Amino acid sequence: MATDFTLTLQLRAPLALHQTRAGVQYVETLDYIPGTALRGALAEAYLAEHGTPDNTFRALFLSEQVQYGDLWPSVEGKWITLLPATARACKRHGLKHSASFRDALLDVWTNPDNKCPECAESLDRVGGYLCSLAPAEPLAPRSRLRISTAIERSAGTVAREMLFTQHTLVGQRKTQDKSDPVLFRGTVRLADPSLKDPLGTLLKAPLFLGSGRSRGLGEVEVKTWVEAPASEPLADRWRKFNAVAQRAGGDPNVRYFSLTLLSHLVLRDDLLRPVLDAITPQHFGLPDGVTWVRYPDSDRQVLFLSAVTIPGWNAALGLPKPDTVALARGSVLLGRCDADQEQDALNRLAQIEAEGVGERRNEGFGRVAVCYPIHYECWR
Ligand SMILES: [Zn+2]
């Protein structure tokens, strides 16, 4: 049985986490720290201190014993929700019109005509994070633009026509008072709890993440490293989800559940092709008989999926990793099973939450939430 630890980082310098491969002249930053970047930084710090890879290094970074989750922006004392692909808010004003906010997953049977109650504008997809569900309170990290030039190697002077513009995270909230710090928090899952100590020692060293480290970017410090609090039990979330699904028009003889990707999901078929919109419940190892819900008036499945290309950097080799195509974090699937299959389905779903799904789970990929509360708490 794996143990989850919560890791909270505070920025000591701006952080640049590229969404795409570096080399272009205008670069946006991710608004979270991917587990793969965390793992890479820790591996580098380990090698800087110990020289060559040893058994502890292999246990921490090369085995499946440690899963480094993504670290999301967060504030002290709040439970953060990733806005899934089903989240909707005012098309014009977004979450500034917080009364417009809702989750559309359970609209399958009713298909309501949604308008913003504040300005009557229609609703549109909204992304980001919430630090409170009701009322909806967004949490957006502030970013700052940095502009720099390249240096001509031969002359040691500014290279012509080489101006680089990049966004960096600065560790503050966007909308609130600037002094309100944004921390980055996520879970590291240890299959062997005895690895907590070597990892804790490593977390005391200065850590550098992202790009521009030679120019003073990316320094972070560990604020807390503690055992994760228990989340609401799956059986309770399942019950609440189904109660709202019934109110929304679901069949009372059927059990419903959602699968919400909290991180990118890397799945490949037997021919090593990425599994994207052809994903089935059996890819999740769910029992036969579990299917995706279909819209009542068409044969279309209720899937809110998007794909993402993940670039990567192999720090040990100093080489780029091949791009990976994956299902993007925030994607949502709506599943169903017969009432007599409830227990079988729940058993497997609990395992999915505890272990993740797909490839590269030690880099934080494949984290899934079942019956994510936003789908039932924010449907109305
Ligand atoms: Zn509005």
106 alpha carbon – ligand 1 mean position (Å): 22
DSSP state at residue 270: T
Give the H/E segment covering residue 208.
Answer: strand 207-208
User: What is the C-alpha separation between 220 and 68, in angstroms, rounded?
Assistant: 16
Q: Does domain 234-377 have CATH number 3.40.50.970?
A: no
116 alpha carbon – ligand 1 mean position (Å): 5
119 alpha carbon – ligand 1 mean position (Å): 4
Stronger pLDDT, 297 or 313, i.e. the higher one? 297
**pLDDT (0 to 100) of residue 2:** 87
What confidence tens digit (pLDDT) does each residue in 239-298 have? 999 999 999 999 999 999 999 999 999 999 989 999 999 999 999 999 999 999 999 988
Phi/psi at 360 (5° precision) = 55, 40
> Would 3-79+140-227 and 234-377 be classified into the same CATH topology?
no
91 alpha carbon – ligand 1 mean position (Å): 7
Coil/strand/helix, residue 291: strand
122 alpha carbon – ligand 1 mean position (Å): 8
Contact by Cβ (8 Å): 30, 128: no
Segment 361-365 shows an average pLDDT of 96
61 alpha carbon – ligand 1 mean position (Å): 47
90 alpha carbon – ligand 1 mean position (Å): 4
CATH number of 3-79+140-227: 3.30.70
> Hey, which of 29-33, 148-152, 211-215, 331-335 has the most confident mean pLDDT?
331-335
What confidence tens digit (pLDDT) does each residue in 38-70 have? 999 999 999 999 999 999 999 999 988 999 999
Q: Is the pLDDT of residue 22 over 60?
A: no
Q: What is the mean pLDDT of the chain?
A: 91
308 alpha carbon – ligand 1 mean position (Å): 30
99 alpha carbon – ligand 1 mean position (Å): 8
Quick one: the chain helix, strand, coil %, rounded to 5? 25, 35, 40
Coil/strand/helix, residue 132: strand
**pLDDT (0 to 100) of residue 179:** 65
333 alpha carbon – ligand 1 mean position (Å): 28
**pLDDT (0 to 100) of residue 21:** 64
Of 254, 240, 244, 279, give the one whose Cα is nearest residue 107.
Answer: 244
**pLDDT (0 to 100) of residue 178:** 59
Stronger pLDDT, 164 or 371, i.e. the higher one? 371
Q: In the chain, where are the structural domains located?
A: 3-79+140-227, 234-377
**pLDDT (0 to 100) of residue 112:** 85
Where does the pLDDT of residue 154 fall: very low under 50, low under 70, confident under 90, or very high at 90 and above? confident
The DSSP bridge partners found for residue 336 are: 256, 291
User: What is the C-alpha separation between 166 and 171, in angstroms, rounded?
Assistant: 16
Q: CA angle, corner 133, sides to 129 and 137, nearest 5?
A: 60
Q: CA angle, corner 19, sides to 7 and 219, nearest 5?
A: 45
Of 73, 106, 103, 110, give the one whose Cα is nearest residue 89.
Answer: 103
101 alpha carbon – ligand 1 mean position (Å): 9
Contact by Cβ (8 Å): 209, 218: yes
**pLDDT (0 to 100) of residue 23:** 61
Q: Is the pLDDT of residue 206 over 90?
A: no
Residue 24: count other Cβ atoms within 10 Å of its Cβ: 11
User: What is the C-alpha separation between 56 and 254, in angstroms, rounded?
Assistant: 48
380 alpha carbon – ligand 1 mean position (Å): 17
94 alpha carbon – ligand 1 mean position (Å): 7
115 alpha carbon – ligand 1 mean position (Å): 8
DSSP 139-172: --EEEEEEEEEEE-TTT-SEEEEEEEEEEEEEEE
**pLDDT (0 to 100) of residue 24:** 66
Stronger pLDDT, 166 or 295, i.e. the higher one? 295
**pLDDT (0 to 100) of residue 176:** 59
